[in-house]
Structure 1
């Protein structure tokens, strides 16, 4: 793909990538005949990100080509979202009552917890195609009337196939499919904000900018997209949403301002595994878009990021009532998933028995899907167990997290993310 784009640009068949905010907005507005992008807060984030991409990301031809496509997609969805809100103002009135939000570092078992809970039909959840394309197309009324098929799952499937072709390891790191339960990171990214971009491009200036912002506007927009998705699913507002993304570790105050009655499930895992696995995830995505990536730089950045996430989470927890949160150990889920989930359901004040068949079916499907295990080590990213333990040892002691001194660097598909 990279070679084809380079060749196409030489002969004028492929336009050069123009990563200018005004140009991108004007181009998308002209293409779709709309000009309302919603809350303008995103514009500053977009400007900073584009500057960081141009100056720091060192994208190859396929990388800057896909970046332009990604920004077009996000901007178009903002236009379509505002169009839907204008057509159906009742969407913004949909309540989001007592969501259950899983909060944990990258690679700490949040996906496993999320998918177990999503197998319970008493909860609502996002599907992967809805995080890639959260906003239905303007003709979605035909889909709701049963007159045509929703194109978004097909688009998600194509995007996933391209990602797997670009780097087959992505499937073992984070197994998914168009209809699999998925996190809301794509909804936060709709505001041009968050770690989704940091895990695919080298954008340290943008990362530091995001870390200095109040994320409330991004979370408000995320909540409105969640309302739109619930409306498009014809989902009952009575069913609590199951949400999760490691981004929440950084933004708990914003999360709780937007979802004040949320119930929080905190997941914990040995930081050696968290940092090594997170670095591997970011590395395997970044090398798709850039031919100039240092594994040591990736390791340093995700050690720093993990430490920041943990510190912010710990600070924010001080103001959260204890009856609104529960802690779950990665190792406890490995040893006794049923007993651990019984604790979770008792915390949520739900009877676990109706959920058990769905959970067992999910676990059986996961076990039957033979995938190459996700393998990684701290050393390949220029890190040592001693350094990680020194910087994150207090977190381990505070939450009594089991530490694997041998650190078998191998994530199964079930435990991914």
Structure 2
């Protein structure tokens, strides 16, 4: 199908929609709010992206796949419309700077039987969560497993970078993708006009759909069962997120930015090198530095306008000292208890999954090679580090 598409991405918009409808037999994409976002992205692909042949195909497949998922989830929303009136009360939401231990925390808290989380396969194909015993035979679950394994087979080092399981908790990325509003687009490709658009965009339609999909996935659960969500990007749009989820319990993870920024830039550069030629490592490093420093500063100001009790700050060192105790304190802060079965499950997960179980992410000092020393990174994050009392890691 890809070979039949026009060379220009912008000329492919309707053809991709038609192909998505053909593949699914469905026609309702839901509210059209996503259309303008997609058009801005396609124009940026045409005018700015530096795709190699492989990268262009990956981008088209991503767009088509997202449209297919949007059609399927819209059909599920129509079939389960009663859930759209369900409240999502006081969800626990992990956010903060990238590479600050949020994934490890998410996986650990995801073992708590008193919480419900967004499993990878249900984020990919939103639908009411079926009984867990049926998952291994579910076609969508098996597809998600195959997708993850294919990714790790292509690059085994990715397990150490971001570990995923079809049945495991996964961040909100795939829900955000359905509106074509996700930082993955600007991370994976050089699309500055889309990045500028994305940063200033009213994200309320994105988070409204996000909430509807969360409602859909939890349709078979008790409305009283607390949700656990996670995505660093929520910090970038914290004001709008809290407009849609006004009583969310925010867990913000913290770490010395200089200790993790090189790892993050190395990760992005690795992805870019697969799909673009050439890549500009200087642009990548400086863009991400400014983006996340600005987001951290904005979050400080947004938090000043809210009840401090709505937030819990978790420093990386405290989490690593005693992960289970860290979870107990988080839940206690928000008036929740860590039950005996939950504590047992968390300790078992911790014992079975020590740090670097899936390998250690080895990377060069990418930022120093493009003129960003650890001191320069800390200088840009000075407001953030001072506010939260963060110290430089050796």
What TM-score results when the alignment is normalised by the length of structure 1? 0.86
Is 2:90–2:249's contact at 8 Å kept on the other side of the alignment?
yes
Structure 2 residue corresponding to 1:351, chosen from 337, 354, 371: 337
Alignment-derived partner of residue 233 in structure 2: 247
Structure 1 SS opposite 2:59: helix
Structure 2 SS opposite 1:124: strand
Structure 2 residue corresponding to 1:209, chosen from 183, 197, 200: 197
Does residue 388 of the first structure (1) align with residue 380 of the second (2)?
Answer: no
Question: How far is 1:146 from its partner?
Answer: 6.3
Q: How does 1:308-347 map to 2 (within 5 A)?
A: 308-347=294-333
Cα separation, 1, equivalents of 2:166 and 2:136: 18
Q: How does 1:231-270 map to 2 (within 5 A)?
A: 231=219, 234-270=220-256
Write the deviation string for residues 327-386 of structure 1: whole angstroms up to 9, x where unpaired: 110111122334433321210222224222111111122128733211332324542112
Q: Closer, same or farther in 2 for the Cα pair 1:249/1:93, shift >3 Å?
A: same
Structure 1 SS opposite 2:137: coil
Alignment-derived partner of residue 184 in structure 1: 172
Is 1:169–1:284's contact at 8 Å kept on the other side of the alignment?
no
Cα separation, 2, equivalents of 1:206 and 1:380: 27
**Could you say what the CA RMSD is over the residues aligned between the two structures, in angstroms?**
2.5
Alignment-derived partner of residue 40 in structure 2: 48
Structure 1 SS opposite 2:336: coil
Task: List 4+ stretches of structure 1 deviating above 4 A.
Answer: 143-148
Cα separation, 2, equivalents of 1:332 and 1:310: 20
Q: Closer, same or farther in 2 for the Cα pair 1:76/1:301, shift >3 Å?
A: same
Cα separation, 1, equivalents of 2:369 and 2:86: 48
Does residue 398 of the first structure (1) align with residue 387 of the second (2)?
Answer: yes
Aligned residues: 388
Does residue 69 of the first structure (1) align with residue 61 of the second (2)?
Answer: yes
Q: Closer, same or farther in 2 for the Cα pair 1:54/1:161, shift >3 Å?
A: farther
Cα separation, 1, equivalents of 2:356 and 2:136: 32
Does residue 194 of the first structure (1) align with residue 209 of the second (2)?
Answer: no
Question: How far is 1:399 from its partner?
Answer: 0.3
Cα separation, 2, equivalents of 1:219 and 1:193: 10
Alignment-derived partner of residue 410 in structure 1: none
Does residue 285 of the first structure (1) align with residue 271 of the second (2)?
Answer: yes
Question: In terms of mean alpha carbon deviation, does 192-201 or 145-154 score higher?
Answer: 145-154
Structure 1 residue corresponding to 2:358, chosen from 371, 388, 399: 371
Structure 2 residue corresponding to 1:133, chosen from 115, 125, 129: 125
Question: How far is 1:55 from its partner?
Answer: 2.2
Write the deviation string for residues 166-219 of structure 1: whole angstroms up to 9, x where unpaired: 433322111112111111111011110021222222222111101011101000
Question: How far is 1:224 from its partner?
Answer: 0.9
Q: Closer, same or farther in 2 for the Cα pair 1:33/1:353, shift >3 Å?
A: closer
Unaligned runs of 5+ residues in structure 2 are none
Q: Closer, same or farther in 2 for the Cα pair 1:257/1:389, shift >3 Å?
A: same
Unaligned runs of 5+ residues in structure 1 are 1-11, 407-417
Is 2:293–2:384's contact at 8 Å kept on the other side of the alignment?
no
Q: Closer, same or farther in 2 for the Cα pair 1:382/1:23, shift >3 Å?
A: farther
Write the deviation string for residues 3-25 of structure 1: whole angstroms up to 9, x where unpaired: xxxxxxxxx99445652322222
Does residue 28 of the first structure (1) align with residue 14 of the second (2)?
Answer: no
Structure 1 SS opposite 2:306: coil
Cα separation, 1, equivalents of 2:53 and 2:150: 15
Cα separation, 2, equivalents of 1:177 and 1:84: 23
